[in-house]
Amino acid sequence: MTDKILKFKIWADFGHFGMRYTTSSKATHLVPPRHTISGMVGAILGTKREEVSETFHPENCRVGIAPAKPLHFFRITLKQLLLKNRSFKGWITATNRSLIPFQMLRDPAYYIYIAHRDNTIYNSLKSLLENHECIYPPSFGMAQLLADFEFLGEYSVDTVEERNIATSTVTPADAVSVSPKEGNRIVIDKMAHWLDENRVSQQFQRVLFDANGEKLEMAIKSLPQYVDLIRLEETEEVIFLW
């Protein structure tokens, strides 16, 4: 869809990427779903919340993600309050308090790859990343879990024609056949692919990746809609964009 792509690293002390297909579970995805990545990039750009869905729709934007380090989570109990108002008095007088066990990621870090059809949006994002600037700070699933980022470069891309590849990026599970090696921590997960303007999940996708950030060897069967397989010319990295 494009001949250029941006790559940056993003990390935080903690993260929690809730599972949209559950109503009460506080389990976390090990990597942020695509719509969460869209929200992070939208925060950096200052995109209005109601415009994020259209701006980063798969027809306009492709994103890829790979763990930048081994991923781990721990369990912690957090106190949640039901507030009648958001004033300081509301916090003090809140009586409905619940202790909820959460899964939290510890020191998560990821490589993000992004391409966009709109040159204005693409160039604005590139400028902000290069200067380590953002309109709003990105966060890892909760507003208080603020993240930092580092721009790693702009790359030229080629389409991958080979059917046997190795990649560390999050991969559509039903599109490949993996050949696991000793030491691989293969995770298979179900994630929302994209949300509509009402933040309703429109498509779910099974994905897989190595939780240590190592490359997985695999054979391509067929690519689903809105998924591209590309190679960065400068580094020879093979990337799934979705």
Task: Give 46-67 pLDDT, tens digit per residue.
Answer: 999 889 988 998 889 999 999 9
Q: Taking all residues of the chain, what is their mean pLDDT, rounded to a whole number?
A: 89
* Count: domains in the chain: 1
Confidence at residue 136, expressed as pLDDT on a 0 to 100 scale: 97
Cα dihedral value 20, 238, 209, 78, nearest 10: -50
Q: Higher pLDDT residue, 74 or 1?
A: 74
Which residue range(s) make up the domain with 221?
4-241
Confidence at residue 2, expressed as pLDDT on a 0 to 100 scale: 72
Confidence at residue 31, expressed as pLDDT on a 0 to 100 scale: 97
CA angle 98–100–104, rounded 5-degree value: 145
Asked which of 93-97, 101-105, 172-176 is least confident by mean pLDDT, the reply is 93-97
pLDDT band, residue 16 (cuts 50/70/90): very high
Query: For residue 90, is pLDDT > 70?
Result: no
Query: For residue 88, is pLDDT > 60?
Result: no
pLDDT band, residue 89 (cuts 50/70/90): low
Query: For residue 135, is pLDDT > 70?
Result: yes
Domain containing residue 71: CATH number: 3.30.70.2660
